[in-house]
Structures are given as C-alpha cells and as structure tokens.
Amino acid sequence: MPRFAPKSLTGQIALLVALALFVAQAINFALILRERRQGQFTQVTAPAITRVVDGAERLRDGRFRDPPEERDGRERWKGRLRLEANNPVPPGLPHRVDVEDGIRQAMREANLPVGRIVTGVRPISPTDPRFARMNPQRADRMKRLGAELQVAVEIPGRGWLVMTSGWPRGDGDLIWRLIAQTLILYAAVLIPVLWVGSRVGRPLRKLATAAREFHPSAPSEPIEERGPGDVRAVIAAYNLMSSRVTAMLDEKDQMLGAIGHDLRTPLAALRVRIESVEDDEDRARMADTIDEMNRTLDDILSLARLGRPSEPPTETDLSALIDAVVDDFRELGHAVDYEDGQRLIMRLRPALMRRAVRNLIENAVKYGGGGEVTLKPDGASVRIEVADRGPGIAPDQIAAVFDPFTRLDASRNRSTGGVGLGLTLARAIVREAGGDISLANREGGGLSATIVLPRR
C-alpha cells in the first residue's frame, strides 16, 4: 500500500468506497454534461444557425424584411433577424466558437457569401426591465436560461445580419449541483460504511492486542466474541488455541517436574552408594560426575521452564544482586572484581537474573582465571559487563556459542565441566526480561560479555 493510504481496515474500506463513488459520479457527470450539450445544440445552437442561414438566403433573394423596431415592444426578443450597418456585439463578451463554426459551415454549404462572424454571450439579470415588455412565457424561459446569445454575421456589401436568442448559463451550476449531490451521497454511504468498519475493526484490534500480549506465564481471559460471524469465528478459534497452548504448557511443566524427580532420585542414591568406594580418587571422580549431572539437569529444566517462570517480577536492587553473586565467587577464592555502583532499582525476576550473571562470571573464571564486573546505567537501559583476560572466541564462532550444547574445543575441555548450556540459559533469561546479551573480544585479549536491560 502507498504511504498515504490508511493502515486500518475501516480506513481502507472507506477509501475504496470513496474512490468507487468518485468514479461513479465522474461517469455520471460526463453523461449528464454530454446530454446537456446535445440538448443545447438541438434546442438552441441548431435553431440559431438555421435562422441565420435562412435570413441570409432571404436577403440574397430580396425577400428579407427588417422588422419594425418596437412593434408591441417585443420584436427584438423574439429571435427575429435584423439588418444593421455595423456590428452591434459589444467587445469582451465570451465567444461561442461552435456557433461561429456552425454558421460558417452552413453558409458555405448553402453557397452564401459571408464575412466575419461574431458571437457573444451576455448574462441577463432576473430584474432586467425588458422582461416587463416580453411575452410572459418567453420571459420565464429567458430567466431560466439566464443569458442571451448575440450573433452578428457580416454579409459582404449588405451589412450585418444580427440575431439575439436565449442561451443557457455555463456548466458551473451543474458542477456545483453535482458536487453537492456527491457530498450528500458520501455522507449517506460513508457514514454507514465507517460504522460497519468500526464494528468489524474493534474486535479485530482487541484480538491483535491479545495475541501480541499473550504470554505463557500470564493467565489470559477469553476475548469476548463480538462483531460479524466471520470475526466471531476467528476470535473463538483464538480463544480455543490459547487455551490449548496453556494446557500443553501445564502438561509440559508437570512432565518436567516428574522427569526432574525421577532423575534426581537415582542420582541421590548413587551419591550414597559411592560412599562405600574405598579408593578416595575414584570416589571423588564419581562425586564430581554426579554433581555435573545434577548441574546439567538443573540447567536443562531451567531452560525448559523459562517461558513460565514461577518467580514473579519484583523491585530489586540490581547493584546489590550483582555484589552478592560476586561475593559468592570471592568466598571460593576466585579473582572477581566489582566496584559497588549506585543503588539501581529495577523490576525483574531476581533468582533468574542472578543465575544469568553467575553463568557469565563462571565462564570468565573458568576460561580467563577471573573477571571484572561493571554496572553502567545508560539512559533508557542498563549495561552489565563481565570481562576476562582469557583466550577469547574466534569472531566467526561468537554466534554459535549461544546454541545449546555447544562447546568450543579451542577454549574448553572436560576439565572445565559443563555441557554448553550456560550462555544459552543466560541469553534466554535476559531476553525474557526484555533485554539482550552479546559477546565481543577485548583489545589485548580476553572476552567481554554484556547484558543490556531496559529500565522500567
């Protein structure tokens, strides 16, 4: 659609109907104008041409009699011809070229000599005093026509053959009448169309809003089924779909809970059984393997449940949250630096955000030996940056490390642990909060992971 076209369904329907009405009125105007001009030629132009040619023939044959000037005060207004020595048509009046061409053509066909032909159309005021001396019927006709046509035909050697006849006004009145009719038609048609379009568009807008704001973690009320039958059918289908999606997610959560319980139970039993292993080294390896399996299970379940977290958003001091995570790593003897920033209150899910920050710091500790954490308010957003001095990541592999179960051989091995879900889970948590996460290699070596969160 062009940029100036309306975007809404109601606006597009109204525009289409308006264009259709305009085209119909334009065709109607052309037909009326053509019919009017044909009637004008038949009733006014053709008789005037015929009368002039007839007078010229009578003048040639010596049968022309100039009527008296004011017999009964009516002769000049009956369209009678008269012969005058000079052209009586005042200069500056609008010419009728079609009448002039018609008279010249008719005179040529009748083999009559003709010189100049002058026409002029002059408006007549309804209060013209000449109407008082005119036949009433003709006076009414002249008032309706509103103008008079003056024709002067030069007959070589004889003078000017002059005629005055009634002439209709221009097409301006017709145009204004058609404009008024079009406006009335627009009002009569577009108002119901806009009402119907609004009746159809209102439930569709509610449906679009509900679909756009649908979130698995938030309970949603069914949309009221309103509007025409087709619109109600679409709304009913959406309500059914949303209820099915919610039911499927509930079933998924129950299944994940059952899986977690069924897997943790044998892992706990294995943890108890390895206590009977006499070799300390073997027992330690088994314990590490069980711990890694528990962590992997937690990551998988957390990632699967992220769309419907049980933790509600709360007002949280982001600076204090980061400081608590950093303290946990410091207590384990890891080199993680963080300068306490200003108090920054944000509405988020603290446990999930703590896990995302912990995953980034854990990567920095594993692959860089330590990390530097900074919190930077930046206008409408907040940036959490975790930087290290490790080997970094090849630029063409930065996007791939966010994929689940992705491990880069150049920077990871079995001694570092993990199955490649840390960054995947961190990005999913941040995006669920409305932000995003990115990685970039640092100048001088190392990697920088940045979380950007909107301030709300």
Domain ranges of the chain: 11-174, 312-454
- What distances in angstroms separate CA 299 from CA 217, 360, 366, one per listed residue? 19, 14, 17
pLDDT at 80: 66
**pLDDT tens per residue across span 238-279:** 888 888 887 887 777 677 677 777 777 787 888 788 888 778
207-210-216-220 Cα dihedral, nearest 10 degrees: -100
Q: Give the other-Cβ count within 10 Å of 107's Cβ.
A: 20
- For residue 231, give the nearest of 200, 190, 274, 277 by alpha carbon: 200
CATH 3.30.565.10 fits 312-454, yes or no: yes
Residue with tokens 């408006």: 123
Strands 436-441 and 447-454: antiparallel
- Residues above pLDDT 70, as percent of the chain: 82
Q: Coil, strand, or helix at residue 336?
A: strand
* Between 2 and 144, residue with greater pLDDT: 144
Measure the CA angle with vertex 127, ends 124 and 131; round to 5°: 75
pLDDT at 405: 67
- Give me the mean pLDDT over the 376-393 stretch: 88
Q: 402-426 burial, b for 16+ CB within 10 Å, e for fewer? A: beeeeeeeebbeeeeebebbbbbbb
User: And the tokens for 426?
Assistant: 């961190």
Q: Where are the beta strands (DSSP E) in 128-228?
A: 146-155, 159-168
Lowest mean pLDDT among 19-28, 71-80, 172-181, 238-247: 71-80
Residue with tokens 């023939």: 57
Q: Coil, strand, or helix at residue 172?
A: helix
Contacts of 351 (CB under 8 A, 6+ apart): 311
Estimate to the nearest angstrom the gap between the alpha carbon of 113 and the chain centroid.
69
For residue 76, name the pLDDT band (cuts at 50, 70, 90).
Answer: very low
β-pair partners for 372: 337, 387
pLDDT at 75: 39
User: And the tokens for 94?
Assistant: 């609008």
pLDDT higher than threshold 80 for residue 132: no
- Give me the mean pLDDT over the 287-311 stretch: 71
Most confident of 73-82, 150-159, 300-309, 400-409: 150-159
